[in-house]
């Protein structure tokens, strides 16, 4: 008798769990039970007890049922309530209006209450919210037959919202050759840093303003300041790949040892980021700055790098940079090349 009571209790508990859980049925007949959290119209995410979060391709979903309210978003409206599917539509049980039929093809997003709250918060974050980035550190030291030190430090931070983006960066490389009689004893001493602000004007077009600064002791460059702005175009903007083209004007002021100059120049560039699998991100930037007062003179920059995630906070970073100027000071070369590698420490705020 006692075993029968236990069996009945467990059966009632299991049945009640199914009644108060969301369910997704796939085209192949598989059934998932858990909590539907979100969909972007391309994939659906359901959080299950055994498998954790499961991402499903939206076209593979045959039907779904939610025990709790979902925010069903279309281009024209948002409807809130428990959802069932019927004849190619989502039936949203609103209160007190009754069921509302939403054609499945018109659905651009589904969100449960926590996801909706996070989405609404992301629309108007404070200036301190939404930052991602990291610091790269590399150091090399030799002794004995050679006496060298090499330090490379870099920092990037990016804050992107639905309507704008702020990007900050800084990198420094310093190297010495301490062997007796080595000339020069300092073999690298350069720092770059800057910021850019983008504001979306349409889904594809954005305006930007930027400020970049550079010093390079071995090129006798005390300081190069570049203040500019213009328009950009999102040629590709997906979760895996982004490709932007930018054009505008800038004011460049250069202070070399024994020589100062300033001029207006064009800003022409492209930027690419691409996710290689789940753990590696590739980034590439190419810029061209022709002098408007003398178009035979220009500066070009090329940067290429990868970051491979090792853990949530750690990654391995590789970076290559080339800065080319057509008219360096007398006795200095036109190209400055930098290649660094080291540990990347990521942060999110």
The Cα angle at residue 127 between residues 126 and 131, in degrees rounded to 5? 105
Same domain, 312 and 165: yes
CATH of the domain at 213: 2.40.160.40
Q: How far from 115 is each of 36, 73, 112, CA to CA, in Å? A: 10, 13, 5
Boundary-marking domain end, from 123, 148, 179? 123
Q: With beta carbons less than 8 A apart as the criterion, state whether 134 and 338 touch.
A: no
How does DSSP classify residue 329? S
Q: With beta carbons less than 8 A apart as the criterion, state whether 156 and 131 touch.
A: no
Boundary-marking domain end, from 63, 89, 123? 123
Q: How many domains does the chain have?
A: 2
Same domain, 82 and 217: no
Instruction: Tell me the C-alpha distance between 31 and 306, whole Å.
Output: 39
Boundary-marking domain end, from 93, 123, 153? 123
Same domain, 110 and 181: no
- pLDDT by residue for the chain (349 residues), tens only, comes to 545 444 444 343 344 444 458 999 999 989 999 999 999 888 999 999 888 889 999 899 998 999 889 999 998 889 898 999 877 788 888 877 678 888 988 899 999 999 998 888 777 777 888 888 889 888 888 877 677 888 889 899 999 888 899 999 999 999 888 777 666 688 889 999 999 999 999 989 999 999 999 999 888 899 999 999 999 999 998 878 999 999 999 999 999 998 899 999 999 999 999 998 888 999 999 999 999 998 889 999 999 999 999 988 899 988 888 989 998 888 788 888 888 888 889 887 6
Residue ranges making up the domain that contains 90: 2-123
Nearest to 250 by CA among 212, 283, 220: 212
Please state the pTM of the whole predicted model. 0.70
Q: Maximum Cα–Cα distance for the chain, whole Å? A: 100
Same domain, 93 and 141: no
Q: With beta carbons less than 8 A apart as the criterion, state whether 64 and 83 touch.
A: yes
Same domain, 246 and 330: yes
Same domain, 139 and 65: no
Instruction: Tell me the C-alpha distance between 100 and 319, whole Å.
Output: 54
């Amino acid at each position: 008798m006692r075993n029968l009571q236990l069996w009945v209790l467990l059966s009632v508990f299991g049945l009640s769990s199914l009644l108060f859980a969301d369910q997704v049925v796939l085209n192949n007949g598989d059934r998932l039970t858990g909590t539907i959290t979100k969909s972007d119209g391309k994939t659906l995410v359901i959080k299950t007890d055994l498998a954790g979060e499961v991402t499903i391709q939206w076209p593979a979903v045959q039907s779904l049922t939610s025990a709790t309210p979902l925010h069903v978003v279309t281009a024209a409206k948002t409807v809130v309530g428990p959802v069932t599917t019927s004849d190619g539509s989502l039936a949203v049980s609103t209160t007190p209006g009754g069921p509302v039929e939403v054609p499945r093809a018109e659905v651009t997003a589904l969100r449960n209450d926590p996801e909706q709250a996070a989405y609404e918060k992301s629309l108007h974050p404070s200036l301190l919210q939404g930052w991602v980035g990291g610091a790269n550190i590399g150091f090399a030291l030799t002794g004995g037959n050679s006496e060298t030190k090499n330090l490379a430090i870099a920092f990037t931070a990016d804050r992107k919202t639905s309507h704008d983006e702020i990007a900050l960066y800084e990198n420094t490389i310093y190297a010495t050759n301490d062997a007796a009689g080595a000339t020069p004893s300092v073999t690298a001493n350069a720092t770059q840093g800057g910021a850019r602000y983008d504001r979306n004007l349409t889904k594809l077009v954005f305006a930007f303003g930027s400020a970049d600064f550079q010093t390079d002791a071995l090129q006798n460059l005390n300081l190069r300041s570049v203040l500019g702005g213009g328009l950009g175009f999102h040629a590709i903007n997906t979760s895996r790949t982004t490709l932007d083209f930018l054009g505008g004007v800038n004011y460049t002021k250069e202070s070399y040892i024994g020589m100062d100059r300033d001029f207006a120049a064009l800003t022409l560039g492209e930027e690419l980021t691409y996710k290689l699998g789940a753990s590696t991100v590739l980034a590439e930037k190419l810029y061209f700055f022709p002098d408007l007062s003398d178009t035979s003179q220009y500066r070009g920059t090329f940067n290429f790098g990868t970051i491979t995630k090792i853990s949530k906070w750690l990654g391995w970073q590789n970076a290559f940079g080339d800065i080319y100027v057509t008219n360096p000071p007398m006795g200095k070369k036109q190209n400055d090349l930098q290649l660094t590698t080291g540990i990347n420490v990521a942060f999110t705020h």
